[in-house]
Structure 1
Amino acid sequence: MALSLAISPCPNDTFVFDALVHGRVPGAPPVEVTYADVDVTNTAAERGAFDLVKVSYAALPWLLDDYHLLPCGGALGRGCGPLVLTKGDRADLAGATVAVPGDRTTAYLLFRLWSAGQPPARIEVVPFHEIMPGVAAGRYDAGLVIHEARFTYHRHGLTALVDLGEWWEADTGLPIPLGAILARRGAVDPVAAAGWIRESVRQAWADPTVSREYVLAHAQEMELDVVDRHIGLYVNEFTADLGEAGFAAVTALLDRAATAGLVPQTSSSRATAWTS
């Protein structure tokens, strides 16, 4: 029976999961893949739509009753946080219309934590690929962006008002928890799934050329240099194992957000007991 997997088409996900998707991980079942932006997978996971699924860490409070958090395969790191972009020299977001890529994305949760106590802005959920062009054209006063936009926003004539990753790291000393991999309870053994993903990561690092065609086929016309920089930034030691620092970052994010009333309270044991 095939395993249903949902990931984004972004280079970090296709790079990490190439071996698993293409049947090169010994002992792993066949995989049927759905490619979707994380805002879509966050919603689909609430319906229990997939056996393995990439979601935002910000969505965990709504998902951990039905899914195990896996300690590998996701996106955490340093120097890789979301950016708030504007056109011109805007000093703040008072009265601004801000385009965001999803209301349960980690980027938006970090934005809400950062902007607490500041003058309110009007929020619009916008497909990710429309955010930078929309800000450049004046449809939005600011945009919250992630992933490869870190490398390309200058081309749109935009300026970074704040790097939310830098803010988070300076405030906590912890890496930035962005995207998580979950295994549906009762559908897949989380220990086995973690083993398959780690082997897929190992193979990706051992010979990056093997996944090149697959990665580029889903890279949405990204330039090769941007693809390589994207993978280099988002596929790192936390992809192979969250470790103590990774789990501490997840706990800090969810605890802060719950204290601020932005998400339901999630017990630390629920967020880390992925083998239970």
Structure 2
Amino acid sequence: MTVASDSLKIAFSPCPNDTFVFHAWVHGLVPDAPKLEVTYADIDITNRLASDGSNKLDVLKISYAALPWVLDDYALIPCGGALGRGCGPLVLTNGGSSNPASLKGRRVAVPSDRSTAYLLFRLWAAQLVPGGVGEIVVMPFHEIMPAVRDGLVDAGLVIHEARFTYPSYGLTMLADLGSWWESDTGLPIPLGAIIARRSLDLAAITRWTQASVEHAWKHPQLSQAYVMQHAQEMDPQVAQAHIDLYVNDFTGSLSGSGYAAVTSLLTRAAEEGLVPAVDPAKLLLP
């Protein structure tokens, strides 16, 4: 396995946690690492790119929920991603009942149907919404809270900085799916994964990714301008809260509990018919 050239093509989101993690590598601050040619795209787009056999990307940040469709071609890199506690998606409504069963037959907006947020929502609903929810409406995540506020949908599944901003839309949290998952399993929440083509030097990519993470932690001020450049007019305090929430020990190393969380999520989702079954051995580097 080799790195085929002096550069790698990578795709990750413009969200603060991703730009924070990859700042050092993107800016040539990781010794001996090849240059990165970066595509910035929201995770629903990178999920699709990873499963598109014609794409020429070497490394991507995708949702853990998308892994079952890409593991033949891509390996899970055990660092750089997003797992954690207290950082799960929320189910929001515009007031009304606080009983999850009130969502029976209702229209719910989600940011992607191949996201960890969506899998958590469906697993939660299978337990707590007898008869199931109604229509699932996929829309860009920044449109979800206005749609709930304006009554275009009955509830919305939100991610990222919406955890901090939903009260400004006058919305109510019906459920914190992260809290539900942690209570139900005792495991962290698997959100975003770094993957790389199996034909590449996966040990080297892991090493460079870890070095980029460690540089970001040691020199956080160096990445601030880059983070804010891509933060889509986000308030700097919200951007920092985003980094604090999603960049943690699991970003440095997936570890045993991280692998257990990923295995549990994908196994339970496969049992519900939401994803193809995955051999846990394929989650490990060869």
Matched residue, 1:216: 228
Matched residue, 2:83: 76
What is the aligned counterpart of 1:17 among 17, 22, 39?
22
Offset of 1:89 from its aligned partner?
2.1
Matched residue, 2:3: none
Matched residue, 1:137: 150
1:122 matched to 2:127: no
What is the SS of the residue equivalent to 2:174?
strand
1:37 matched to 2:42: yes
Offset of 1:173 from its aligned partner?
0.2
Matched residue, 2:249: 237
CA distance in 2, matches of 1:228, 1:210: 13
Offset of 1:259 from its aligned partner?
1.4
Amino acid in the other structure paired with 1:38: I
Matched residue, 2:202: 190
What is the SS of the residue equivalent to 2:268?
helix
1:60 matched to 2:62: no
What is the SS of the residue equivalent to 1:70?
strand
CA distance in 1, matches of 2:166, 2:201: 41
CA distance in 2, matches of 1:132, 1:32: 33
When the two chains are superposed, the root-mean-square deviation of aligned CA atoms in Å is: 0.9
Amino acid in the other structure paired with 1:105: S
Q: What are the Cα deviations for residues 107-143 of structure 1, in whole angstroms up to 9, with x where unaligned? A: 0011111111523221010001111111111111111
Question: Which is worse superposed, 43-52 or 106-115?
Answer: 43-52
Amino acid in the other structure paired with 1:60: L
Matched residue, 1:227: 239
What is the aligned counterpart of 1:160 among 141, 164, 173?
173
Q: What are the Cα deviations for residues 32-66 of structure 1, in whole angstroms up to 9, with x where unaligned? A: 10111111100000125210100010111101000
Offset of 1:185 from its aligned partner?
1.6
Matched residue, 1:254: 266
Alignment TM-score, normalising by the size of structure 2:
0.94
Matched residue, 2:94: 87
Amino acid in the other structure paired with 2:179: E
What is the SS of the residue equivalent to 2:222?
coil
Q: What are the Cα deviations for residues 52-107 of structure 1, in whole angstroms up to 9, with x where unaligned? A: 10001011110100001010000000000000010012332122111100110110
Amino acid in the other structure paired with 2:176: D
CA distance in 2, matches of 1:66, 1:222: 35
What is the SS of the residue equivalent to 1:246?
helix
1:3 matched to 2:16: no
CA distance in 1, matches of 2:269, 2:259: 15
Matched residue, 2:190: 177
Matched residue, 1:26: 31
Structure 1 segments of 4 or more deviating over 6 A? Answer: none
Matched residue, 1:99: 109
What is the SS of the residue equivalent to 2:79?
coil
Amino acid in the other structure paired with 1:34: T
CA distance in 2, matches of 1:74, 1:10: 12
Offset of 1:204 from its aligned partner?
0.4
Number of aligned pairs? 273
CA distance in 1, matches of 2:47, 2:176: 24
The percent identity for this pair of structures is 62
CA distance in 2, matches of 1:219, 1:73: 18
What is the aligned counterpart of 1:146 among 159, 171, 178?
159
Q: What are the Cα deviations for residues 191-224 of structure 1, in whole angstroms up to 9, with x where unaligned? A: 1001001100111010111000000001011111
CA distance in 1, matches of 2:134, 2:238: 31
